[in-house]
Amino acid sequence: MRRERAPAAPAGRRPVGHRRLTSPAAPAVETRDDLASLFRQAGLQGTFVLYDVTAARVVMVDRARAERRFIPASTFNVA
């Protein structure tokens, strides 16, 4: 994952929305096995991961599969 630096703010000012960060805590992880039934009903094997930045939590369906690396079977473009 590539991270870019935010543009520098004028001396003595912080950019809008800036928060002073200390060592960030690891987000809470919630595994939703109940949502896996949606994949099964569609006859698919898959996973879903959502990072909720406001609640600092990660919601996962099929955590073991989500933590494995896979080569994509197909790709698509977003216009």
pLDDT score of 70: 80
pLDDT score of 61: 92
0.85 exceeded by the pTM? no
User: Token digits for 68?
Assistant: 């494995």
pLDDT score of 17: 57
CB 57 within 8 A of CB 30: yes
Amino acid at 53: V
Q: Give the domain ranges of the chain.
A: 28-66
pLDDT score of 6: 47
DSSP state of 25: P
Q: What is the pLDDT along the chain (79 residues), one digit of tens a residue?
A: 444 554 555 555 555 555 555 556 788 899 888 888 998 999 988 888 999 988 889 999 998 988 898 877 766 666 6
